[in-house]
Each structure stands twice: as C-alpha cells, then as structure tokens.
Amino acid sequence: MYGRRVYPLSAIAAGIVCFVLLGVMACNIPFFGALAPQQEGAPSEVQIFFVAERTRLSRGECTTLRWEVSGTYYEVWLSGPEMQEPVAAIGQGDVCPEETTVYSLNVDTGETVESRPLEIRVVDAPLITQPSPPAGVPRSPSPGPPSPLPQPTSTPQLPPSPPTSTPPVTLPPVVIMPTPTLFIPMLTVDLALTDLYVDGGKVYVLIANYGAEKVEDLRIQYTCWWTENSYFVGGGSFSDQKGPTPVTIIALNPGQTTPFDTYITVDLANYWYDVTCSIVEFPTLVFDTDPSNDTYQETLMSP
C-alpha cells in the first residue's frame, strides 16, 4: 500500500495564483489596467496671429497691422513705444513709425501673458554729418610732417637692407544680406454695399462683388444705424443701431449681388426711416481695395 502524499499549503497557494494569472492573460482581461484612471485631454491653447501688411518702410510711410486671437483668454492689448491699448480679438490698425519699431500683441490667458512681437523696419535714415564749428572759432591747423630724429654720430651706420616687396592682400567682397521679411499671401477683395430695401416689414442690405475674383466662404461683419421719423408734426423721432452682424458670403462671382438681413423692422405706414449700413470688419489677411464703397445710406418711406 502506498501512503498519501501531503502537499504544503504554500505550494497550493502558488498554483492557484498562477492559474488565475494564466486565465487573465489567455482571455485578454484588463485586470489591473482597467482600474487605472484615464488621463484627461490638455486644455486648448490660445492661437495668436499678428502680421503687418508691410514690415519694411521708408521714412514717412505707414503700414497696417492685422491680428486675430482665438481660444480662451481674458484680455487682448496692443503695445508699442509709449502706447498700450486694449483691442478686440479680431482687428486692424495703421501705424506710421519714424524709426524701426517693435509692436507686440499681448494676450492674458489667466495663467500667463502670451506676446507676439512684430518689428517694422524703417530704412533710408538721413546721414549723420559732422557739425561745422561755430563762427569765430578757428579751425585747428593740420599737423605738419614730423621732424626727423637726430642720428647718433658715435654709432657706425650699417648698410641699408635691400627693399622687400609684400604682395597686396586681397580681401573678399563684403556682401550685405537683406533682412528677411515674412511674406504671407493676402486675399484681395472689393465688396460694396449697393442698396437698402424693405420686404415684408424687414430691411435688407445688398452686397456686391466689385472685385475681379470670385469670393467664397468669406466672413465679414456690418453695422446698421437708423432713425425713425413720424410723418405727423410733433410725432418725434427715435434712433438705434443693429450690429456688428456677422455673415458669411458662401459664393459671389464678380458683378453679382446678394442680400442680407439687417434685423431692422419698419412701419412705413406711419414712419419714414434714415438707414445707414457699413462693413466694419474683414477677416485677418483680407485686404479691401476700395473702403469708400463699404458704406451705403438711404431714406426709406412709403410710396
């Protein structure tokens, strides 16, 4: 007869643990990793675009700064020599520096201040000439040739050495490299406000493409001001404005027009209206070639 074999408890426990681990790996069960916390995505960063229409000017010329800020921020301001001015998130402005100047667009994100410097170079500075002495002050005479030193008489003179010729040293030409400028292509458009009309008690503004290229997916903003006047004596008047109103021009060929709602309602039976609308903002990197036709005014009354 054979006796019963006795196994230690530690060997039995180790076998159970190995069996469980082999089952977890074979079934591809996320045993420990399933309890690990998932990492949250990083917060979105602030996007800052700050460019100039021209970064190299002659003295007396001006250029247009354009900027756009997107993301989460608290404050935006433009700084330069002796200036610090709060500005909108999307905008533009003209500067006429007298000398090379650095402007900065600053954005307060709550945790830090992001800055984007932009240098505007001014060239062709006037030459600096040495001033003439005032009247009555004589000019210093030019020094004459130095007097020869006396030769000692007790030391014998050695014969002169034969002259040696030194070949001329040719220096390489100095090449002045121009300062590189950032070239960013700009979209050139010519949009015009051409008409105001009433349809169903609402006022619409007509926008035309006077440019040579088709305008697509262009987002602009316009503002309208109006005054309501009574037909009757003593009826009084009332003034208000709507905007800025953002709209997107989906597609507009050269010479075509498209209407947009001004969100102004009128009562032509009892009142007449003076209405003026104006395009107040283009996107960054979009240049309007003729700003004079960005505004249109008309008096609206019953026929």
Give the pLDDT confidence score for residue 177 in this predicted structure: 58
Give the pLDDT confidence score for residue 3 in this predicted structure: 47
pLDDT band at 36 (very low <50, low <70, confident <90, very high): very low
In this predicted model, what pLDDT tens digit does every residue of 226-264 receive, in sequence order? Answer: 999 998 877 778 899 988 899 999 999 999 999 999 999
Q: Is residue 90 over pLDDT 50?
A: yes
Alpha-carbon distance of 35 to 24, in angstroms, equals: 15
Higher pLDDT, 98 or 31: 98
Are 66 and 285 a contacting pair, CB within 8 Å? yes
Structure tokens at 235: 């009826």
Alpha-carbon distance of 37 to 154, in angstroms, equals: 102
What is the distance in angstroms between the CA of the first residue and the CA of the last residue of the chain? 125
Determine the average pLDDT of the residues in 51-68.
90
Please tell me the pTM assigned to this model.
0.41
Give the pLDDT confidence score for residue 139 in this predicted structure: 55
- Give the contacts of 64 (CB within 8 A, at least 6 positions apart): 52, 53, 92, 93, 94
Q: Is residue 11 over pLDDT 60?
A: no
Which domains, and CATH codes, for the chain?
Answer: 47-123 (2.60.40.10), 187-300 (2.60.40)
- Give the contacts of 32 (CB within 8 A, at least 6 positions apart): none
pLDDT band at 64 (very low <50, low <70, confident <90, very high): very high
Alpha-carbon distance of 36 to 26, in angstroms, equals: 21
In this predicted model, what pLDDT tens digit does every residue of 260-286 receive, in sequence order? Answer: 999 999 999 999 999 999 998 888 888
- List phi, psi (to 5°) of 63: -145, 165
Give the pLDDT confidence score for residue 123 in this predicted structure: 87
